[in-house]
Copies of this chain bind each other. A is one copy, B any other.
């Protein structure tokens, strides 16, 4: 007896997989299965079970390198085939470089375009199988459950107790013609007749401010309805820290916050189902991404350790949950797939964003920034990715800016200065009533460009302003003791106008310095130069609306050619949809935890110096 005796040490270092005949080559962490390595890199291998080792369709041949025979392999291959290197890809663990031959696909997979231009092969966790079963007799007394489970040939099913409750009646009322409803490898229900075409999931982006729900048709990969709603936790504070604080001051607050999250999510679930005209019971899974605080509050997990140094999360990968743990009343046994988190301030929303942008799969070096009170930053390529969180302060919170408001009707979202002319972009067909985050950044950027704000962030003296901009300088006035720049007058009193105050500028400087310090430290970590970055992805509800030119002007992002600065949109929501549509993408999201290194800023000696340097606006 001779054996492959190489010690398996998953998770150490990276190995190279080369795939024939398409010639693809990928580097994956040692310990990854060949199946995952291929899937994450868009190389399709036959599989109906999604890598569970049950369908035995993911046959590949290892042509160079050794992979030990797994106990499942002898069920799929003859002795000669095993000797010839044939293995089940989902069981073949790559501990060193391998060459892999992939047979032609037996079935052409359906696909959908989601994320940032990502082509997702449809393989949702939710599966249905229509079964016409033989009726039991005294000669064939197999149990109802075994009759169903054995008929589903491509899964080794586990069964939910709840699915057992009505199965006897369902089988007998439908002449033993039923549809098995499967999530992952769990039988969650048996429905009368053929319902295979009807399967749905809801992807939730559980934001601190806004919650978005997308109802997906899993048979086609298409969204059927999208709705958003303000998170009903708002009365407990606008940002995560104030909500964590609420739980520390009031022992009942955690339960109330959990309740509010549940109301929000369940309300949205009802709305999207109603819009699509289907029963919530036909939604068999929910996928949820959100920052760590939102996830812990929604699940009733004590968030206190998140709120104070050293910022400890309860679990990077949360234990299995069901939709009802989020208060979402869809199918009673629908599971809830939850995105994992890298750390207290780089949560599942960012992991979802990295998935949607393919940050860890792309050869290009890219910078991902989700701009907000807490800004998450990730930098890297398929070779290596590092991530951090930067506490940007309240500049992007409407409440902390004198004339700040959310990006709603009447908000100034864009400012342009040309000579003595100033043009405002206002949301909706309305008179301006305030200024949202992108308007703030634009206003500051334009005033710096116009010379009315100096590089230190101070409004220049009145006499200098009058000389430089005779018209515009009339807008530079005082409200109380503070100098402000009026964007829109409402009557003669500057106190009634929409303006940018000196303190607002300071808040923004603080925020952008924090973010810029973050990505500069990441650049340093990777040993890169700033000009090696090929793309900046601005994510999140705020980042997506930023003007790239203004972001560069104030130094919030590296100085790249403007077309390389991309508003990536709601990438967290896109990532959640991808995970609903594909188990492989879900596995890829999980792998991000092992692929991305978290860099903690608060402990670093170089942070303060760099931060001080970044406070000024670029020359």
A-side interface residues toward B, CB under 8 Å?
1-8, 66, 68-71, 74-75, 78-80, 82-83, 85, 91, 93, 136-146, 158-161, 163-169, 172, 299-305, 309-316, 318-321, 325, 343-344, 598, 600, 602-603
Instruction: Knowing A71-B70, A74-B5, say if A161 contacts B316 (CB, 8 Å).
Output: no
Asked whether A138 lies within 8 Å of B66 as measured between CB atoms, the reply is: no
Cβ 8 A contact of A159, one of B161, B319, B600: B319
Asked whether A137 lies within 8 Å of B325 as measured between CB atoms, the reply is: no
Asked whether B164 lies within 8 Å of A319 as measured between CB atoms, the reply is: yes
List residues of chain B with CB within 8 A of the CB of A136.
310, 312
Other than the given A138-B310, A138-B600, 14 more pairs (CB < 8 A) read A1-B66, A2-B2, A4-B74, A71-B91, A136-B310, A141-B312, A143-B316, A145-B319, A164-B299, A164-B314, A165-B299, A165-B302, A167-B314, A168-B314
Smallest Cβ distance from A241 to chain B, in angstroms? 16
Asked whether A168 lies within 8 Å of B138 as measured between CB atoms, the reply is: no
- With most chain B CB atoms within 10 A of its CB, the pick from A79, A145, A161, A344 is A161
List residues of chain B with CB within 8 A of the CB of A146.
315-316
Q: For A304, give the chain B residue with the smallest CB separation.
A: B168
Asked whether B8 lies within 8 Å of A344 as measured between CB atoms, the reply is: no
Smallest Cβ distance from A296 to chain B, in angstroms? 9
Asked whether B138 lies within 8 Å of A7 as measured between CB atoms, the reply is: no
Instruction: Knowing A75-B7, A172-B305, A299-B165, say if A141 contacts B69 (CB, 8 Å).
Output: no
Asked whether B78 lies within 8 Å of A321 as measured between CB atoms, the reply is: no
Task: Give the distance in Å from the alpha carbon of A136 to the alpha carbon of B344 in the complex.
Answer: 13
Copies in the complex: 2
List residues of chain B with CB within 8 A of the CB of A6.
74, 79
Asked whether A1 lies within 8 Å of B343 as measured between CB atoms, the reply is: no
List residues of chain B with CB within 8 A of the CB of A141.
310-313, 343-344, 598, 600
Cβ 8 A contact of A161, one of B302, B303, B319: B319
Smallest Cβ distance from A208 to chain B, in angstroms? 20
Smallest Cβ distance from A564 to chain B, in angstroms? 33
Task: Give the distance in Å from the alpha carbon of A172 to the alpha carbon of B304 in the complex.
Answer: 10
Task: Give the distance in Å from the alpha carbon of A141 to the alpha carbon of B344 in the complex.
Answer: 9
Asked whether B603 lies within 8 Å of A139 as measured between CB atoms, the reply is: yes
Smallest Cβ distance from A136 to chain B, in angstroms? 5
Q: For A302, give the chain B residue with the smallest CB separation.
A: B168
Cβ 8 A contact of A74, one of B7, B160, B313: B7
Cβ 8 A contact of A5, one of B82, B302, B303, B320: B82
Q: For A305, give the chain B residue with the smallest CB separation.
A: B168
Task: Give the distance in Å from the alpha carbon of A6 to the alpha carbon of B96 in the complex.
Answer: 26
Asked whether B321 lies within 8 Å of A75 as measured between CB atoms, the reply is: no
List residues of chain B with CB within 8 A of the CB of A305.
144, 168, 172
List residues of chain B with CB within 8 A of the CB of A603.
138-139
Task: Give the distance in Å from the alpha carbon of A78 to the alpha carbon of B303 in the complex.
Answer: 45
Task: Give the distance in Å from the alpha carbon of A319 to the alpha carbon of B163 in the complex.
Answer: 9
Smallest Cβ distance from A367 to chain B, in angstroms? 23
Task: Give the distance in Å from the alpha carbon of A141 to the alpha carbon of B138 in the complex.
Answer: 61
Task: Give the distance in Å from the alpha carbon of A85 to the alpha carbon of B313 in the complex.
Answer: 44
Q: For A601, give the chain B residue with the smallest CB separation.
A: B138
Asked whether A310 lies within 8 Å of B137 as measured between CB atoms, the reply is: yes
- With most chain B CB atoms within 10 A of its CB, the pick from A91, A136, A302 is A302
List residues of chain B with CB within 8 A of the CB of A169.
302, 304
Task: Give the distance in Å from the alpha carbon of A311 to the alpha carbon of B143 in the complex.
Answer: 9
Q: For A139, give the chain B residue with the smallest CB separation.
A: B603
Smallest Cβ distance from A182 to chain B, in angstroms? 14
Asked whether B344 lies within 8 Å of A300 as measured between CB atoms, the reply is: no
Instruction: Knowing A68-B71, A169-B302, A302-B169, say if A143 contacts B3 (CB, 8 Å).
Output: no
List residues of chain B with CB within 8 A of the CB of A2.
1-2, 83
List residues of chain B with CB within 8 A of the CB of A318.
161, 164
Instruction: Knowing A165-B299, A168-B302, A302-B165, say if A71 contacts B313 (CB, 8 Å).
Output: no
Smallest Cβ distance from A261 to chain B, in angstroms? 14
Task: Give the distance in Å from the alpha carbon of A161 to the alpha carbon of B136 in the complex.
Answer: 39
